[in-house]
Amino acid sequence: MSNGKIISQEPIIELKHIDKHFGSLHVLKDINLTVHKGEVVVIIGPSGSGKSTLCRTINRLETIDSGEIVIDGSVMPKEGKKLAELRSQIGMVFQSFNLFAHKTILDNVTIAPRDVLKKSKREAEEEAMQLLKRVGVDSQAGKVPAQLSGGQQQRVAIARSLAMHPKAILFDEPTSALDPEMIGEVLDVMTELARDGMTMVIVTHEMNFARRVADRVIFMDGGSILEEAAPEEFFAAPKTQRARDFLNSLGDRESRS
């Protein structure tokens, strides 16, 4: 593994033969993917290749046509209480942050632990403050999301996920909506999470970050997983022509940064 990290063989997320259409568009084609405990999987690929859809399929924000999703040994049902419960075990961080606009930063982080996990207000707030401190926005706890910068909002979103003690966190292009000067602060928080052993699935266009943090890189195109390899292997010698084309298309931007 890339950073000498030893990954357990305990599967946290298992996708088995997932197929999905948007109307006539076959957006996920027989996707099979297992993410192990402590593993960081980075998904890359051209725009429209189905990365977001795959990411959102893991906690069933998208419906699927066929296949099975297993979270830490439990099959994710289509709907109902059990689905909500399994979802609560998988965090999700979105491109557009999606903080609750009417709640303070502190309340954004405590609402789910209190209402879903039934924690006391005091316990939830104490932990929330620790998490906000960990991501460096504890001084903003009393403000509302619109008063924060994008980078700060995204770090709050990460803290909100962490407050549920998730078994894994999904990131769908977490830095794509950020001004360039704020990308670093979010990637730093994510790097730290990876170092602490969090299981992560990350869709991103930040190739240097992928090189540094990924245990495994997955290359998608046209709704299929075309390559799956350790980052040094993938970036040095992509096997498919489409992966080579994709990496070339990123061009100078990446070789410079």
Ligand X SMILES: Nc1ncnc2c1ncn2[C@@H]1O[C@H](COP(=O)(O)OP(=O)(O)O)[C@@H](O)[C@H]1O
Interface residues with other proteins (CB under 8 A) are 59, 61, 79, 81, 84-92, 94, 96-102, 111-112, 115-116, 144-147, 157, 160-161, 164
Q: How many CA atoms lie within 13 A of 244 on its CB side?
A: 5
Kind and range of the H or E run holding 160: helix 150-162
Instruction: Examine residue 51 and tell whether it contacts ligand X (CB under 6 A).
Output: yes
Q: Looking at 22, 66, 116, 240, which residue binds ligand X (CB under 6 A)?
A: 22
Which listed option, ligand X, Mg ion, other proteins, none, makes contact with residue 98 (CB within 5 to 8 Å by class)?
other proteins
Q: Looking at 52, 57, 154, 199, which residue binds Mg ion (CB under 5 A)?
A: 52
Residue with tokens 């954004």: 108
Residue 204's region, left for phi above 0, alpha for psi from -120 to 50, else beta, is beta
Beta strands in the chain (DSSP E): 11-22, 25-36, 40-44, 66-71, 74-75, 90-93, 168-172, 200-203, 216-221, 224-229
Instruction: Examine residue 57 and tell whether it contacts ligand X (CB under 6 A).
Output: no
Which of these segments, 19-27, 96-104, 127-135, 146-154, binds ligand X (CB under 6 A)?
19-27
Q: Nearest distance from residue 240's CB to other proteins, in Å?
A: 32
Q: Nearest distance from residue 51's CB to ligand X, in Å?
A: 3
Dmax over Cα atoms in the chain, in whole Å? Answer: 55
Q: Nearest distance from residue 149's CB to Mg ion, in Å?
A: 22
DSSP class per residue in 50-69: SHHHHHHHHTTSS--SEEEE
In angstroms, the CA 206 to CA 176 distance is: 9
Which listed option, Mg ion, ligand X, other proteins, none, makes contact with residue 199 (CB within 5 to 8 Å by class)?
none
Rank residues 205 and 211 by Cβ distance to Mg ion and give the closer one.
205
Instruction: Examine residue 57 and tell whether it contacts Mg ion (CB under 5 A).
Output: no
